[in-house]
Structure 1
Amino acid sequence: MFPTYDVIVVGAGHAGCEAAIAAANLGAKVMLATMNMHTIAQMSCNPAMGGVGKGQIVREIDALGGYSGIITDETMVQFRLLNKSKGPAMWSPRAQSDRMAFALNWREKLEAHPNVDFWQEMITGIVVKDGRACGVHTGLGIEIPGKAVVLTNGTFLNGTIHIGEKQFGGGRAGERAATGITAQLQGLGFESGRMKTGTPARLDGRSLDWSKMEEQPGDENPGKFSYTDTPPLVNQMPCHITYTSKEVHETLREGFDRSPMFNGRIRGLGPRYCPSIEDKIDRFAGRDAHQLFVEPEGRNTCEIYVNGFSSSLPEDVQYKALRKIVGFENAKMFRPGYAIEYDFFPPTQLDASLETRLVPRLFFAGQINGTTGYEEAGCQGLIAGTNAALAVQERDPLILKRSEAYIGVLIDDLINKGTKEPYRMFTSRAEYRILLRQDDADLRLSPIAAKLGVRNMEGRMARVEEKKSAVDAIHRELKNHSVTPDQLNDFLERTGNTPLKQGVKLLTVLTRPGISLPALAEAVPALNDFIAAYDAETINLAEVTLKYEGYIEREKAAVDKMSRLEGIKLHSDFDYHAISSLSMEARQKLSELKPRTIGQASRISGVSPADVSVLLVHLGR
């Protein structure tokens, strides 16, 4: 009935979609299996992409040939660049998406790819022969053969939904849970656990009083995620801000005795940085109000997402409390919020390629690895799909370093440190974040994708080379063009800078605080004429790389130092228990995780700098 596929992807959420397209773009014949063709790329929680740390990931996905950035650009209704008041390492793009358009766009792009086939049915198990994954079993008893399998099951593995004292099986509202895979993997020797996430109630926007809320518009000149020629955003939709109150909190507390989170029915840990409203009230009892973001679900719907009001309290308590929020006095509820528990597999059981150590050719990506967020899932899907295709083609895997991408930081954290709660990316997790800015992901990563042979990278590489040349040209102009005091002193005084006493190069002026390249160009007509030939993103990149040149060089030196440790290999059969000078915890962790290099060993939780020194001495270094 089926041919033997190169890669079978189980699950069509954000991880599954990126995995399927990544493998297909490397020439692999792909089967994408999903329980429901109508929920491909469903935004299960908030209708938004990007944010702090997450926006950088979306740009990296795009630079590597993934589709999340393109689809976000084509379907967003609002764009904001967050943290603009901070340094460029912190600038993070975020877009409010049209939920229905986003999912439809993903499906259309997948269906348009000649290498992607589909099958709608629950996958109940993996076919394992000679210790290797070689297909999947379906609920109808069908066997689909494949040379590699990528599991991206999201919250569906034995999913349980909680609303107050009610609980029932489900992977998402209105969709059943997936069974069979967890038990099989446990039988194969995998360790599993339970995690929890949640979502807020959805409201009827026609019933809200928008005049009582603070409007939050998008950027005046909206940016985008993709480095390709996606259309500019027009007709942005506003979000709004309102707040809870003491009265709201007291109403919510009335239902705490029926809360599954407080009475012990929920055992899985939820995301630390996205707590439910009842958790916030309990943990921050001294606060009288919490901010809520009221977000549109799309251009052609009145459905509203209440960001910050995730809850598993009884539906009557949720409804009563919501109606006490300013602007929500007459709110109508489409559906209540809920919590969901699901199975995950600690990611320390994976290699850096996201291939499982126990079963070759079996890859995990997304929430099955203990992460939370569309962006974290999408980047894992891209890496798992890419490496599944490369494994079938008997090529070396794609493994990104911590100094190359936020994606590299995320995967390195997962496989070396594991996670006991849903892992979310932040800029603070990256020690080289000045090198991993959102403005240069194409320069960092597109050459890697092109070298792998990812489909349609020719046009991207032409843009990368053009961008590099443009930045170099702007740098030369700033380093060579001199200005005199009479040309610039009026401008410098307006910006609060000390006037010039003699002629200097433009570069010297640009590095002063509070001076941007566009503003400087307005004061120097010749410079203005010169940079008029370049787009805003190129001009910004040229400015950032010059202003932060010292910091960038310092981080590159730190990367070079760490690279020496990455170059010292460790064999998988290394007997750590034979080295008595290692701490007992280090011996146990190193034996369990089997790091490939000294650098990787140094990042394992429980391995101290002293343990690394012992290893170096043992290896004669």
Structure 2
Amino acid sequence: MLNTYDILVVGGGHAGSEAAIASSKMGSKTLLITSNLQTIGQMSCNPAIGGIAKGQIIREIDALGGYSGIISDCSTIQFRMLNKSKGPAMWSPRAQCDRKLFSYYWRFFLEKNITLDLYQDTVTSLIIEKCIVKGVITLFGLKIKSKIVILTNGTFLNGKIHIGEKKINGGRIAEQESKGITEQLTKYFGLKYGRMKTGTSPRVDGRSLDYKKMIVQNGDKNPKKFSFFYNSKKLKKQRKCYITYTNHKVHDLIYENINFSPIFKGSSPRYCPSIEEKIFRFSNKKEHPIFVEPEGWNTVEVYINGFSTSFPEELQYKSLKEISGFEKVKILRPGYAIEYDYFPPEQLKHTLESKIIENLFFAGQINGTTGYEEAAAQGLIAGINAHLKNEKKDPFILKRNEAYIGVLIDDLITKGIKEPYRMFTSRAEYRMLLRQDNADERLTYMGYNIGLISEEKMKMVDNKISKIEKCIFFFKKTNFDPKIINPILIYKNSPIISHDKKIETILSRSEIDIKDISNISFIKKKIEKNNFSQEILEQVSIRIKYKGYIDREKENAKKLIKLENLKIPNNFNYKNIKSLSLEAREKLDYYRPISLSQASRISGVSPSDLSILLIYMGR
């Protein structure tokens, strides 16, 4: 092992793995150091990737050259496209994964990089000189020098596990916490930190469950994949998941014993609440869904999604037994709450580098987020920017109209957080542009330009775009004869036509699906001749049906770009502008926005404050 690295990544979770693979692929000599090499890419909570808005993030990571989508495809045991009954902006891919395979493939792909080293030890402090990071010191006293350090400590910084009244030091069940980094950064360098809580559900023995009493949840008949490029095996068989529900007996037990829940006494995540908090927050509900999800292909272990808890083991057991299908349940591992240190992300630049300590980057739950997908996205961006800074190149920053990842990071930096941050489609004002199906079109060129995407993959996207445009052109210039299309329109309860109409016009009707017309003889011949895949036809349909929405968001995005281009100097003195409101002066001085657009998204900065800023910037 070398004494000096270009980039050193602390932590081998989803953020750390993406950061390490990105920086090493781009050419930086990288070291990934973690407390346990056997748990790289561990799915600490739910064994699933994707979901609403999160699936979009995974596809964006793949389009940029990251690996979370590839790893998911290699380990998928069930795939579903969520929200298909809604518009395409809401469609979100989700994969149930084999937990062991997921971790195995992360290790496999990391080890394929000759510019990446792995090392097992725990980092306890950083080597910092004149507010510039120079390396790390480990638990065993090893000093490792590095030009840049990326912290992706997850829930391990002073982690404390809660099960009822039991308190155990640890970053994950049966894994030791990490001490020293928080104390050093706060005491000697003035960084602010806080404590957050999250929780996980019990794992049970699937052989002890009665699935006949539950609702079967099958995967899609024609399952898709996350990765646009990686040729993983087609998913020919899938494992079933199941749904059951809580009831008044479960609720009564929780009400009567709520004082035994440490996570309820604190504050559990709003968007991933414990079962205790759900019962109290939604007291009018008679039942809550419980998702029964297998942990892999060849295991009896089952994850109980929707039953995150920190109750004592005996109460967990009693509560579960009251759920239909769980009457004879056997618990393999209890659920628990975990409390850990995080650093408020407004202390970072959009590159995820610290504003206070140069060459120190933060990514993942250390920034106050929750979820594998949010962590992986930050890790990728931190890894990219760490390499670019090391090479003295311009930073890589995604805008809000370019990617969900851009929304995620901008929200963290600009708005800060008061609770664990989770991505939703509602957080993105340009979600019609940021669909899961077009992430490759949006981002692959960017990935190519920074060195994470090969020329071969870029040509695949060029070919896809070319076929979409060719198909749309055909639909725009070709007419339907009423005799051909009217029988279909009648069947679909759509108004018939009396004279020729463009295919585009008919397809733009909400009740007409592209499948309804793709088997018409002359259209079918065109599709087969040009090898238009189902993916191409789906893209064409979306662009035609939602053209008005897409065009409107593009116009709004242009306005945003104008504000993004109005840069605010780093040394801009807000305190001297007395015409700004007091709150605006304080907030602007604290967040130090880099553009007028970012300033506009800071809570407490009004339109009149922005007008005043414009005047002073003009001066």
User: TM-score interval w.r.t. the shorter chain?
Assistant: over 0.9
Report how far residue 261 of structure 1 moved: 3.1
Report how far residue 288 of structure 1 moved: 1.8
Provide, for residues 390-419 of structure 1, a one-character-per-residue CA deviation record: whole Å limited to 9, x for no partner: 111111110000000000000000000000
**Could you say which residue in structure 1 is the equivalent of 2:66?**
66
Provide, for residues 169-226 of structure 1, a one-character-per-residue CA deviation record: whole Å limited to 9, x for no partner: 0100110100011001102110000001000110000110011100000111111100
Which region of structure 1 is more displaced relative to structure 2, 568-577 or 413-422? 568-577
Report how far residue 457 of structure 1 moved: 1.8
CA contact (8 A) 2:15 2:375 kept: yes
Report how far residue 485 of structure 1 moved: 0.7
Structure 2: how far apart are the matches of 1:322 and 1:183? 40
1:44 and 2:44 equivalent? Answer: yes
1:468 is aligned, of 430, 455, 465, to: 465
**Could you say which residue in structure 2 is the equivalent of 1:340?**
338
Structure 2: how far apart are the matches of 1:172 and 1:203? 18
Structure 1: how far apart are the matches of 2:5 and 2:551? 46
2:318 is aligned, of 296, 317, 320, to: 320
**Could you say which residue in structure 2 is the equivalent of 1:217?**
218
1:512 is aligned, of 509, 513, 524, to: 509
**Could you say which residue in structure 1 is the equivalent of 2:372?**
374
Provide, for residues 133-186 of structure 1, a one-character-per-residue CA deviation record: whole Å limited to 9, x for no partner: 111110011111111000000000000000001111010011010001100110
Report how far residue 516 of structure 1 moved: 1.5
Report how far residue 609 of structure 1 moved: 1.5
Report how far residue 347 of structure 1 moved: 0.2
CA contact (8 A) 1:79 1:219 kept: yes
CA contact (8 A) 1:254 1:317 kept: no
* Aligned-partner SS, 2:551: helix
Question: After the TM superposition, which residues 404-553 of structure 1 pair with which residues of structure 2 at under 5 Å, given as runs?
Answer: 404-454=402-452, 456-522=453-519, 524-532=520-528, 533-553=531-551
Which residue identity lines up with residue 536 of structure 1 in the other structure? Q
Which residue identity lines up with residue 527 of structure 1 in the other structure? I
* Aligned-partner SS, 2:233: coil
CA contact (8 A) 2:568 2:617 kept: no
Structure 1: give runs of 5+ residues left out of the alignment.
Answer: none
Structure 1: how far apart are the matches of 2:268 and 2:260? 18
Provide, for residues 60-113 of structure 1, a one-character-per-residue CA deviation record: whole Å limited to 9, x for no partner: 000000000011011101111111111111111111011000000100110111
Structure 2: how far apart are the matches of 1:550 and 1:488? 24
CA contact (8 A) 1:13 1:154 kept: yes
* Aligned-partner SS, 1:577: coil
CA contact (8 A) 2:197 2:263 kept: no
* Aligned-partner SS, 1:148: strand
* Aligned-partner SS, 1:285: coil
Structure 1: how far apart are the matches of 2:457 and 2:606? 42
Structure 2: how far apart are the matches of 1:243 and 1:556? 43
* Aligned-partner SS, 2:322: coil
Which region of structure 1 is more displaced relative to structure 2, 557-566 or 341-350? 557-566
Structure 2: how far apart are the matches of 1:408 and 1:274? 22
Question: After the TM superposition, which residues 390-409 of structure 1 pair with which residues of structure 2 at under 5 Å, given as runs?
Answer: 390-409=388-407
CA contact (8 A) 1:255 1:314 kept: no
Structure 1: how far apart are the matches of 2:213 and 2:456? 48
**Could you say which residue in structure 1 is the equivalent of 2:174?**
174
* Aligned-partner SS, 1:375: helix
Structure 2: give runs of 5+ residues left out of the alignment.
Answer: none
**Could you say which residue in structure 2 is the equivalent of 1:247?**
249
Structure 2: how far apart are the matches of 1:376 and 1:580? 39
CA contact (8 A) 1:169 1:176 kept: yes
Structure 1: how far apart are the matches of 2:612 and 2:26? 42
**Could you say which residue in structure 1 is the equivalent of 2:347?**
349
Report how far residue 546 of structure 1 moved: 1.6
**Could you say which residue in structure 1 is the equivalent of 2:237?**
235
CA contact (8 A) 1:58 1:68 kept: yes
Provide, for residues 410-454 of structure 1, a one-character-per-residue CA deviation record: whole Å limited to 9, x for no partner: 000000000010000000000011110001001100100111122
TM-score normalised over the length of structure 2: 0.98
Percent sequence identity is 53
Which residue identity lines up with residue 526 of structure 2 in the other structure? F
Report how far residue 617 of structure 1 moved: 2.2
Structure 2: how far apart are the matches of 1:431 and 1:360? 32
TM-score normalised over the length of structure 1: 0.98
CA contact (8 A) 1:348 1:416 kept: yes
Structure 1: how far apart are the matches of 2:214 and 2:290? 10
Structure 2: how far apart are the matches of 1:293 and 1:438? 24
Number of residue pairs matched by the alignment: 615
CA contact (8 A) 2:268 2:277 kept: no
Which residue identity lines up with residue 525 of structure 1 in the other structure? S
Structure 2: how far apart are the matches of 1:261 and 1:447? 44
* Aligned-partner SS, 1:261: helix
Structure 2: how far apart are the matches of 1:258 and 1:86? 41
Question: After the TM superposition, which residues 548-559 of structure 1 pair with which residues of structure 2 at under 5 Å, given as runs?
Answer: 548-559=546-557
Report how far residue 257 of structure 1 moved: 2.2
Question: After the TM superposition, which residues 184-203 of structure 1 pair with which residues of structure 2 at under 5 Å, given as runs?
Answer: 184-187=184-187, 188-203=189-204
Report how far residue 519 of structure 1 moved: 1.7
Which residue identity lines up with residue 529 of structure 1 in the other structure? K
Which residue identity lines up with residue 214 of structure 2 in the other structure? M
Which residue identity lines up with residue 85 of structure 1 in the other structure? S
* Aligned-partner SS, 1:137: strand
Structure 2: how far apart are the matches of 1:285 and 1:498? 47
Report how far residue 248 of structure 1 moved: 1.1
* Aligned-partner SS, 1:400: coil
Structure 1: how far apart are the matches of 2:156 and 2:93? 29
Which region of structure 1 is more displaced relative to structure 2, 172-181 or 127-136? 127-136
Which residue identity lines up with residue 527 of structure 2 in the other structure? I
CA contact (8 A) 1:41 1:106 kept: yes
CA contact (8 A) 1:52 1:92 kept: yes
Structure 2: how far apart are the matches of 1:591 and 1:248? 50
Which residue identity lines up with residue 50 of structure 1 in the other structure? G
